[in-house]
Amino acid sequence: MLNKRKITILNDHPEIEWEIIAPHIIQRFTKNNQEEIIAKEYWKRIKHYLTLPEEVKKQYFSSLMNDLLQSKSFISKHNKKAVEILLQDYASIDLDLPSFRKYFLEVTKNKEAINEIWEYLGAENIRENLVNHKHLQACINESSTTNLIIEQQDFDEIEIKSLAQIKAMKAFIENKKNKKLINELVPLSLNNNQEISQIVLGLIEEHIRDTRVFLQLIESSMPRAIETAEKFFKKLNPSSDNYYETLLSLCDSPYENVQAFGLELIKQNISYLPKSSLLRNLSETRNQLIQKYLANEISNLLSDKDEFLHFEADILRTRNQKRKLKELIKKRVERVIEDNVSSNLDQKYLAPLVSLTLGLVKEDRAWAIRNLTSLSVHGYEIKDLAITTPIKS
Amino acid sequence: MKTLNKYSSKSKAISCGQETNFLLSSDLNRPPVHVDAEIKNGLDFSDAMLALREVVISDKRSVKKDHSKYQAWVFQEYLKELNKSQPDSIKEIEANRKKIIRELNNLGKKIKNNPLTVEDNNFYKAQRKFWDWLYNEDKDLWYILDPVISVQPECIIFEAFSLDESSYGRVTLPKRMLSKSKKYTIGTTNIDFSRNLANEFSRVRSYRPLNLKIGQNNVIASTKISENIEKKIDLPQSWVNGFLEVQTASTLNHLNFDLTPDFVSDIIAFLEQHKNNVSPKSLKIKLQNNKKPIFEIEPWGKKLEEHNYIYHGPDKEIRLWGRSRLSILKNILKKTEKVSVSAIDDGMPSFWSCKLNDVTFDLCLSGWTANDWSSQLKFALMSADPKRIIFDNECELLNEIRNLVNKKIKLSISEITKKVNCQEKDALACLQKLCSDGLVMYDFHTKEYRWRELFNSGDKLIKKVTNKNLVKGLSIDPNLIKARITNLPEGQRNITWVYDKKIFGWPRLSRAQIILDNKDNFIQTDCDCFDFKKTFKKEGPCKHLIALMNKYIWERYEN
């Protein structure tokens, strides 16, 4: 460590430091593990060397950039500092373009360093910085380097904040588009930057036919993405093979707006769909709109009486919600009981009715007792139900 | 304790028309845990997992009202009144104050109208919008949501506590529910269980096969870029304490009865329909042998009789608090045949178990909402040799049992005692210690102890003794305690200590009493002191009972 006295001497005779001490400091800083305080001191000195007059740097520090930016241990351990050196003005002054490019490629082998560069490009004052830093500007304009930076980013979370980033991203998209690698760009369609997201949405609309991608778009909260996806789903041919599965995946989405959209498509194209299996599959939904649609549809359906038993039982067993739906189901169940009372009604119908007789809602109780009585009269064995009558035979 | 959970990637669900794949990313710092299989009847599993999520986000702590605006108004009113009776000098000060306030207001207006700060409002709006967005987008940034998964030889167990730590949820997925199993490596891990993933569970349907993949490499293979998502989790000691408490409470003597799901739905519906702002807010359960249980919802006195199931056991009336937590079960009740309840006593924990065909969902509720599972070692103190839990006392038997359970993965207490050749109570004490170290869990379904490492190997749990009574009780000199021990039938023992005012300043003779069974489990505890009468349910045994336990039970273990 340099004490105050030594620093005073060195300040008076800086060439001693430049010639004798500086090489040791640089070597130790790049190679060895020091304590944090010592590393901090070394770093201060190195930054000081970088700001020295050109003739001094030429004489004593001609290999400084090389020592730092060719050192893998330095880049991996101090990636932020490596990027800082590379992107500061002095790099532009001290280095010629081929050397800068060489170091740039070396630094961008490290993923964290790439992220740092991307962050730098997103800074508010990046435009002025680029004006000062001709080499960086030249590198950014090369598609190979921008691709290298952008490819390492996580497209689900990438932030595009500056014009420089937009420009780089546009070049990247153009490159992928030409190589027909549009699938890789899909996450960018949901990016915070409207310009980029718009471009990618346009490409998706034009080139992609995978319903999973559009499902992802419709489930996003971005109006433009939703609009694009809705357009795609509306355009699908209802008589195509996968149409039925596609509508089901829309209705099974966890998002209500998507479920409602799926239901709308079902209503529009019901004539093309296998109705009975569709209704059976929809019976597992938790969406109230779909449940209501289903209840309305099955109330007029004379299909197998126990086909929707689970659905109906589930609705009858809900408490404190879905009253209108429950009334619809009650009507249908009543009809099923009436129609099948003389034949064999599935015993499973009895459990929800018995449970309703003990429930808290008076109307439900009365309805259940009435139907159970009717069943009991027709010879069905109902546990705990006794019919008493004042009429004696 | 701070531990670093590192995931190879985000957990995700990939849905396509034909199937749904759940890729649960496990913690990279743990030994690898793998499951890769299709789940038969995935709908039941997804319903149970959604209920588990309800547990995780449940927070029934009352929010304190903000009175600051009211207090500010009161202060202003006070100043107005003061104004009328104050001397001239104070009036001068007041005039100055008003002048300064006026100046401040003017400056405030200038700042507000400054074009540089005009955007401030938008900033706060944007900030609010961001938090709202974050709440919907990634709720786990708001709170930690990482259930513990234990892949066991015959089942997979998912466990988690609620935000207020007063509810514990557990989903048990039997291995027989897995088909086309490609990989199955036993172990324990945390999963990165984000809100979006929970959302995906609501997409599961019976006509769409559900594939569950828990592991590290699987997820990397399915993503384009290899990424590490690190989540610094303040894995609280309270979680380990909570697990220990749940396990200990589950070993206590219970009153077991079954309820019809529709009956529980009725109770929940009634509670939802009535505003819960008058005390008592309990659920009074009247249990009579060979009769259906009767629930009374207080304070309305609404009595509901169970629809179907008859209770068999001793007559008892118990009251449970924190009943609103039962709403966690709301969505799975219609899928289950019956709800099995185990209750201990008034204001004590209760266990509610629902079977969704083969998948089991357990909800364990602490005595009441504000009484979390974990802040104090309430039940653990009443277990065999709690001193071993609190202080790190290693012994040969402990090591032997640790190695045995680690090797065999799951064992019943009788198997353990047979294999290590020791007494049951000694084995129980060691197992409690292992549970408290986060190494072993007690499975209250199978009554077995399972190897379940909660922490990365190498991490050590730092225990803090937070129970005041424990500290006070242990500071009482055992030589001052002279108790009478009476042997009762079936190996039970009654230990009674009469202490007087000369020792602790009590105004009269008081009595502390413990009745133990032959395994040193507590059957009854009682003390005349104020602390015990007032706070036993909340803070566990009082200092007198601790002192008594220390001398007559724990010291015996040490010797």
Record: contact A314-B17, CB cut-off 8 A:
no
B103 and B23 within one domain:
yes
In a domain, B69, yes or no: no
**Rounded CA separation B366/A162 (Å):** 53
Burial of A86 (0-12, 13-18, 19+ CB in 10 A): buried
Q: Which of B16, B273, B305 minimises the CB distance to A320?
A: B273
Residue A359 covered by a domain: yes
Instruction: Please count the CA atoms within 13 angstroms of the CA of B317 that sit on its side-chain side.
Output: 4
Instruction: Tell me the C-alpha distance between A115 and B344, whole Å.
Output: 57
Of B448, B454, B465, B483, the residue nearest B553 (C-alpha): B483
Chain B partners of A254 at a C-beta cutoff of 8 Å?
199-200, 202-203
B448-451 and B440-443 beta bridge pairing:
antiparallel
- Cβ separation of A242 and B265 shorter than 8 Å? no
pTM of the predicted model, to two decimals? Answer: 0.72
Mutation site, A252, A288, A307, A382, interface B, largest B CB count within 10 A: A252
Instruction: Quick: pLDDT tens for A117-139.
Output: 888 888 777 777 777 777 877 88
Q: Are residues B486 and B354 in the same domain?
A: no
Most B CBs within 10 Å: which of A246, A311, A322, A358, as the mutation test of the B interface?
A358
Tell if the CB–CB gap between B333 and A354 is shorter than 8 Å.
no
Share of chain A above pLDDT 90, in %: 9
pLDDT, residue A247, reads 92
Average pLDDT, chain A: 81
Which of B16, B47, B262 is the best substitution to test chain A (most A C-beta atoms within 10 A)?
B262
Question: B485 has which bridge partners?
Answer: B495
> Could you report the per-residue pLDDT of A336-381, keeping only the tens digit for each?
788 776 667 777 778 888 888 888 888 888 998 888 888 888 878 7
Which residues in chain B are contacts of A317 at CB distance < 8 A?
261-262, 265, 333-334
DSSP A253: -
Is B269 close to A184, i.e. CB distance below 8 A? Answer: no
Contact across the interface for B272 and A320, Cβ inside 8 Å: yes
Same domain, B354 and B396: no
Taking an 8 Å cut-off on Cβ atoms, the answer to whether B203 and A252 are in contact is yes
Q: Which residue of B has its CA nearest to A314?
A: B334
Q: Kindly report the nearest CA distance between residue B263 and chain A, in angstroms.
A: 7
Contact B17 A318 (CB under 8 A): no
Residue ranges, chain B, pLDDT below 50: 1-5, 7, 142, 144, 217-234, 458-459, 461-462, 503
Q: Please check whether residue B26 is in contact with residue B216, taking contact to mean a CB–CB distance below 8 angstroms.
A: yes
Q: Is the Cβ–Cβ distance between B38 and B229 less than 8 Å?
A: no
**Side-chain-side CA neighbours of residue B398 (13 Å):** 18
Give me the DSSP letters along B92-104.
HHHHHHHHHHHHH
- How many cross-chain Cβ pairs, A to B, lie less than 8 Å apart? 69
- For residue B155, which amino acid is it? C
**Does B527 reside within a domain?**
yes
The CATH number of the domain holding residue B329 is 3.10.150.10
Question: Which residue of chain A has the CA closest to B331?
Answer: A318
Asked if the structure places residue A390 within a domain, the reply is yes
Note whether residue B378 is domain-resident: no
Which is nearest to B214 in space by CA: B41, B33, B53? B33
Judgement on whether residues B265 and B311 belong to the same structural domain of the protein:
yes
Closest alpha carbon to B551 in B481, B472, B487, B485: B481
Please give the C-alpha separations between residue A302 and each of A276, A285, A290, A335, A348, in angstroms, as whole numbers: 11, 21, 20, 10, 18
Residue A284 has pLDDT above 80, yes or no: yes
In this complex, do A152 and B225 lie within 8 Å of one another by their Cβ atoms?
A: yes
pLDDT over 90 (residue A262): yes
- Does the residue A302 lie in any domain? yes
Query: Domains in chain A: how many in total?
Result: 1
> Nearest residue of B to residue A187 by CA position?
B224
Instruction: Please give the pLDDT value at position B352.
Output: 94
The 8-class DSSP code of residue B15 comes to E
Tally of structural domains, chain B = 4
Domain assignment present for A356:
yes
Q: Which domain holds residue B271?
A: 240-365
| Residue type (1 letter), B144 | I
Of B15, B260, B269, the CB nearest to A320: B269
What per-residue confidence (pLDDT) applies to B284? 92
Burial of B108 (0-12, 13-18, 19+ CB in 10 A): exposed
Please tell me the distance from the alpha carbon of residue A136 to that of residue A100, in angstroms, as a whole number: 8
Tokens of A18: 């430049």
pLDDT the model gives residue A229:
93
At B525-553, the pLDDT tens digits run: 788 887 777 766 566 678 788 888 777 77
B230 chain-A contacts, CB cut-off 8 A:
none
Q: Chain B: nearest CA to A185, how far in angstroms? A: 12
Residue A351 counted as domain residue: yes
Query: CB-CB: which of B205, B262, B272 is closest to A359?
Result: B262
Angle among Cα A326, A327, A333 to the nearest 5 degrees reads 85
Residues from chain B that touch A352, judged by Cβ atoms under 8 A, are: 262
Considering the domain boundaries, does residue A325 fall inside one?
A: yes
Report yes or no: B349 and B365 within 8 Å, Cβ to Cβ: yes
CB contact under 8 A, A317 and B225: no
Q: What is the ipTM of this complex?
A: 0.71
CA distance A249 to A216: 11
- Token representation of residue B554: 């724990």
Considering just the CA atoms, what is the radius of gyration of chain A in Å?
A: 37
Q: Between chains, do A360 and B272 touch, taking CB under 8 Å as contact?
A: no
Per-residue pLDDT at B1: 40
A336 assigned to some structural domain: yes
| Residues on B contacting A at a C-beta cutoff of 8 Å | 15-18, 43, 136, 199-200, 202-203, 205-208, 224-225, 227, 260-263, 265-266, 268-270, 272-273, 304-305, 307, 333-334
Domain stops at, among B451, B476, B502: B451
Of A184, A313, A319, the CB nearest to B268: A319
Tell me how far apart the alpha carbons of residues B341 and B309 are, in angstroms, rounded to a whole number.
12
Collect all residues of chain B within an 8 Å Cβ-Cβ radius of residue A154. Answer: 225, 227
B13: amino acid identity, one letter: A
Tokens encoding A87: 């992107």
B2 and B131, same domain (yes or no): yes
Residue A217, domain member (yes or no): no
Q: How far is CA B545 from the centre of its chain?
A: 26
| A254 closest CB neighbour out of B16, B43, B200 | B200
Phi-psi region of B313 (alpha: psi -120 to 50; beta: other; left: phi over 0): left
Helix (H), strand (E), coil (C) string for B546-558: HHHHHHHHHHHHH
CA dihedral B465, B468, B472, B475 (to 10 degrees): 10
Are B345 and B209 members of one domain?
A: no
Burial of A38 (0-12, 13-18, 19+ CB in 10 A): middle
Distance from CA of B226 to the nearest CA of A (A): 10
Q: Which helix (H) or strand (E) holds B478?
A: none
Most confident of A17-31, A162-176, B353-367, B441-455: B353-367
Mutate to test the interface with A, among B225, B300, B303 (most CBs of A within 10 A): B225
Q: What is the pLDDT of residues A230-255, one digit of tens each?
A: 999 999 999 888 899 899 989 988 88
- Torsion from C-alpha of A111, A112, A114, A119, nearest 10 degrees: 150
Name B412's bridge partners. B448
Residues from A contacting B (CB-CB < 8 Å) are 152, 154, 184, 211-212, 215, 221, 242, 245-246, 248-249, 252-254, 281, 284, 286, 313-314, 317-320, 352, 354-356, 358-360
Which structural domain, as residue segments, surrounds residue A314? 287-393
Other CB atoms within a 10 A radius of the CB of residue A78 amount to 19
Domain boundary among B451, B478, B501: B451
In chain B the first and final C-alpha atoms are separated, in Å, by 32
The runs of H, that is alpha helices, within B351-436 are: 386-390, 396-408, 413-420, 424-436
d(CA B60, CA B68): 23
Q: Would the CB atoms of B269 and A319 count as touching at under 8 Å?
A: yes
CB-nearest to A253 from B203, B208, B305 is B203
Which residue, among B234, B195, B210, has the nearest Cα to B10 in the 3D structure? Answer: B195
- Strands B20-25 and B210-215, by their bridges, are parallel
Q: Are A95 and A56 in contact (CB under 8 A)?
A: no
Is B371 a member of any domain?
no
Q: Which of A248, A318, A358 sits opposite B334 (nearest CB)?
A: A318
- Looking at the structure, tell me whether residues B210 and B319 fall in a common domain: no
Binary contact (B16, A249; C-beta < 8 A) = yes
Do B413 and B286 belong together in one domain?
no
Element (H, E) at B354: strand B350-356
Q: Considering only CB atoms, which chain B residues are within 8 Å of A252?
A: 203, 205, 208
Nearest CA in chain A to B43: A284
A105/A378 Cα distance (integer angstroms):
87
Residues B247, B217, single domain; the answer is no
A254/B202 CB distance under 8 A: yes
Q: Specify the amino acid at residue B12.
A: K
- B131 shares a domain with B98: yes
Do B220 and B78 lie in one domain? The reply is yes
Same domain, B220 and B244: no
B262–A355 CB contact, under 8 Å: yes
User: Residue B424 sits in a domain of what CATH number?
Assistant: 1.10.10.10
Q: Which of B192, B224, B256 is the last residue of a domain?
A: B224
Picking from B150, B155, B189, the residue whose alpha carbon sits closest to that of residue B174 is B155
Measure in Å the smallest separation between the Cα of B262 and chain A Cα atoms: 6
Contact at 8 Å (CB) between B552 and B485? yes
Q: Are B34 and B183 in contact (CB under 8 A)?
A: yes
Q: Are B88 and B369 in contact (CB under 8 A)?
A: no
- Contact of A330 with A367, CB cutoff 8 Å: yes
Residue B233 maps to a domain: no
Closest CB to A360 among B205, B227, B270: B270
CA angle A31, A37, A38 (to 5 degrees): 40
Integer Cα distance of B54 and B363 in angstroms: 11
Residue A71 CA to residue B346 CA, distance in Å, equals 70
- Tokens 């498509």: give the residue: A265
